[in-house]
């Protein structure tokens, strides 16, 4: 089970996989914003590694 404690010990690839698999419920503006922020952060991290 994933929770804030287990996330601390996850690898970057595990976090990326998990974040790309999550979807915010329609109409939940805070969840949609969080999803967009995390996806953008992952994109920026990928660009830095190139």
**Banded pLDDT at 1 (limits 50, 70, 90):** low
Domain total in the chain: 1
What's the predicted TM-score (pTM) here? Answer: 0.59
> What confidence score (pLDDT) does residue 22 get?
78
Summarised one tens digit per residue, pLDDT across range 8-33 is 888 888 888 887 787 778 888 988 88
Tell me how far apart the alpha carbons of residues 5 and 43 are, in angstroms, rounded to a whole number: 24
CB 10 within 8 A of CB 19: no
CA distance 27 to 9: 31
Which range marks the domain in which residue 9 is found? 4-48
| Distance (Å, whole) CA 7 – CA 28 | 23
Angle at the Cα of 49 (from 44 to 50), degrees rounded to 5?
A: 100
């Amino acid at each position: 089970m994933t929770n804030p404690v287990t996330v601390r010990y996850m690898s970057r690839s595990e976090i990326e996989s998990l974040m790309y698999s999550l979807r915010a419920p329609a109409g939940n503006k805070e969840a949609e914003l969080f999803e967009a922020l995390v996806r953008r952060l992952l994109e920026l991290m990928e660009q830095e590694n190139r």
